[in-house]
Amino acid sequence: MRRFGIGVHIAAASIGVSALALAIVAVGVQRVGGGEFEQLMVQHGSSVAAARDMFQSSVTWVLVAAVAAAVSTTLFLAASLARWMARPVMRVSEGAARLAAGEYDVRLDETGPREVRSLARSFNQLAADLERQDRFRQEFIENAAHELRTPLTNLQGYLEALRDGVITPGRDVFASLHEEVERLVRLSASLESTVRGVGREPSPRPTDVVSAASAAVEAVRPLLERRSIRISVITPGSASAFIDPDHLAEVLSNLLHNAARYADDAGEVQVRVRADARRVTTEVVNSGPGIPADDLERVFERFYRVDRSRDRARGGAGLGLAIVRLRVMSAGGAVTAESRSGRTCFSFWLPAATGVATLVRSDGEGARLRPA
């Protein structure tokens, strides 16, 4: 059975109503009007036959002409009404087809009758929700890939260094490998929980920044040694900050990998930690090309890359620094970036979890410099 559009149904309904009204009027005129006309003419001396002939020759033809005009007008108005009513519905139908094809930015004009405006408003809300969900899905996938890439890169660096004989197997090496594997296990568990809608909540606690910095440096060391990049660490005797340990490890790892990625060959990377009664501040400095001033304020934006072709060649996805800012800010801290030709410094501070940390040297009189 062939199905017609809503415009045809509206036109057919309008014509049907008009035809019924005209039929009632015609029957009324013929039956009631004809009888009244005959009775009136007989009262004025005319015969019934003459009155009937007069009615047929005048009123009937006028009625036929009126019906023809009414039918033509009805057809025109029905067609116009059908087009006017079907147009917004067709816009919604076309928009729904585009939405189903993945064009989540499609929006409809909220014009027309109240019901059509309400339909368009609901459609736009649905499109906005789908667009937001699609964006969240893409961000989730890229975030997940980035978070998994860091420990995998560390494992790859260690294994390549072991294979090439750059480092020798030992308890410390296997402990670092085991730590990276544990991070992968925690990340996979977090991803599974997130998919199920119960992502792991941050668990901030007093965390030793000095130990975390040392572990992050050891994890990235094979990458630096392959390019002859020197690394030095300046830390106090202890510095405890209030942050989720996994988040701190992720922040330090991202900053160190960023420094290793953009440091010049045979250059230098330096990590400095200092603490006072309120804050624990960590700086990661690398030599190499600086960041242009116009880009410096945007380096923490998600997916922003200073040099897209260079970042793509070096494996950057524009997420690492955005994640750093997210993790640091969620812990109540802040992160900044400074750069000039030959030197780039990323610095972040976290709320201190203990009192003022005492700076010690190996001789007990000042800050200790621990060269690589």
Q: Which two tokens stand for residue 370?
A: 């621990």
Please tell me the predicted confidence (pLDDT) of residue 273: 96
Please tell me the predicted confidence (pLDDT) of residue 368: 38
Please tell me the predicted confidence (pLDDT) of residue 370: 38
- Domain termination residue (choose one: 103, 134, 162): 103
Query: CATH number of the domain that 343 lies in?
Result: 3.30.565.10
Which of 130, 127, 129 minimizes the C-alpha distance to 110? 127
Top-confidence range, 39-48, 283-292, 316-325: 283-292
Do 213 and 357 share a domain, yes or no?
Answer: yes
Q: How far apart are CA 152 and CA 124, in angstroms?
A: 42
Q: For residue range 231-251, what is the model confidence (pLDDT) as tens digits?
A: 999 999 889 999 999 899 989
Q: Is residue 118 part of a domain?
A: no
Q: Is residue 137 part of a domain?
A: no
Q: Residue 55: pLDDT band by 50, 70, 90 thresholds?
A: low
Q: How far apart are CA 118 and CA 88, in angstroms?
A: 11
Residue 359 has pLDDT above 60, yes or no: no
Full domain range(s) for residue 43: 6-103
Do 94 and 240 share a domain, yes or no?
Answer: no
Q: Is residue 182 part of a domain?
A: no
Q: Is residue 181 part of a domain?
A: no
Do 210 and 96 share a domain, yes or no?
Answer: no
Specify the range with the lowest mean pLDDT, choosing from 46-60, 155-169, 229-243, 355-369. Answer: 355-369
Q: Is residue 159 part of a domain?
A: no
- Domain termination residue (choose one: 70, 103, 136): 103
Do 226 and 363 share a domain, yes or no?
Answer: yes
Q: Is residue 132 part of a domain?
A: no
Residue 190 has pLDDT above 90, yes or no: no
Q: Contact, 319 vs 142, CB < 8 A?
A: yes
Q: Beta 230-235 vs 268-275: how paired, if at all?
A: parallel
Do 362 and 248 share a domain, yes or no?
Answer: yes
Q: Residue 95: pLDDT band by 50, 70, 90 thresholds?
A: confident
Q: Residue 274: pLDDT band by 50, 70, 90 thresholds?
A: very high
Residue 152 has pLDDT above 80, yes or no: yes
Residue 207 has pLDDT above 90, yes or no: yes
Per DSSP, which regions of the chain are E strands? 205-208, 230-235, 240-243, 268-275, 279-288, 334-340, 342-351, 368-371
- Of residues 68 and 159, more confidently modeled: 159
- Domain termination residue (choose one: 103, 120, 151): 103
Q: What is the pTM (predicted TM-score) of this model?
A: 0.50
The one-letter code for the residue type at 325 is R
Q: How many residues does the chain have?
A: 372
Q: For residue range 294-351, what is the model confidence (pLDDT) as tens digits?
A: 777 778 776 555 554 344 334 444 567 878 888 899 899 999 999 887 889 999 999 9
DSSP states along 14-81: HHHHHHHHHHHHHHHIIIIIHHHHHHHHHHTT--HHHHHHHHIIIIIHHHHHHHHHHHHHHHHHHHHH
How are the residues of the chain apportioned to helix, strand and coil, as percentages rounded to the nearest 5?
Answer: 60, 15, 25
Looking at the structure of the chain, the number of domains it has is 2
Which of 324, 323, 289 minimizes the C-alpha distance to 306? 289
Find the distance separating the first CA and the last CA of the chain, reported in whole Å: 82
Q: For residue range 163-180, what is the model confidence (pLDDT) as tens digits?
A: 888 888 888 888 888 878
Do 246 and 366 share a domain, yes or no?
Answer: yes
In which region does residue 126 sit, left (phi positive, over 0), alpha (psi from -120 to 50) or beta (all else)?
A: alpha
Do 95 and 210 share a domain, yes or no?
Answer: no
Q: Contact, 228 vs 283, CB < 8 A?
A: no
Q: What is the DSSP letter of 240?
A: E
Q: What's the whole-number average pLDDT of the chain?
A: 76
Please tell me the predicted confidence (pLDDT) of residue 301: 73
- Residue written as tokens 């499609």? 106
In which region does residue 65 sit, left (phi positive, over 0), alpha (psi from -120 to 50) or beta (all else)?
A: alpha
Q: What is the mean pLDDT of residues 261-275?
A: 91
Do 221 and 352 share a domain, yes or no?
Answer: yes
- Residue written as tokens 């009631």? 32
